[in-house]
Amino acid sequence: MSVAGGTMRGMEITVRSEATGRRQPELSTLWATASAEGTDRAVARQQVTAVMQELVASLDELGASRPDAVHSRVVAPLATRTWQPWGEDGQKQDPRHEVTGRVRVQLTDLEALTDLTTAWSARDEVSLQSPTWSLTDEGQRALHAEVTRD
């Protein structure tokens, strides 16, 4: 280390800090899964496709009636799973097929979240995950600016 002109060359100091800020969530993220199972894969696929079309139509209706309510949505491709069950007598049974479809929607409107969860959870073939809460990118930047100084 050398001290020249009042500065220390060859040394660095690393400073880490933590800041905490609180804001109300701006987004709720909801995952809905539609599923059907049976011995006929095509029938299960048709059932899930019909349910997924209805879920997407309800999002279209929501977007038309409350344009700012839906921040984003993702409709995942259908997934299939097949397995070979065996009977208690040791004999093969017909293969079983499960088809699932998933929708993720981010909402900015708590009333819209309530409406969707009420409607979608009433369906036997739809399961919902608990919503998660977050800030928009803009909200995250604003909160960061509030709690930190450069």
The pLDDT tens digits along the chain (150 residues) read 555 556 667 778 777 767 788 888 999 999 999 999 999 999 999 999 999 999 999 999 999 999 999 999 999 999 999 999 999 999 999 999 999 999 999 999 999 999 999 999 999 999 999 999 999 999 988 888 888 876
DSSP string, 37-73: EES-HHHHHHHHHHHHHHHHHHHHHHHHHSTTTEEEE
| Residue 126: per-residue pLDDT | 96
| Residue 23: per-residue pLDDT | 86
pTM above 0.75, yes or no: yes
Nearest to 29 by CA among 135, 143, 145: 135
| Residue 5: per-residue pLDDT | 59
| Residue 7: per-residue pLDDT | 63
| Residue 13: per-residue pLDDT | 74
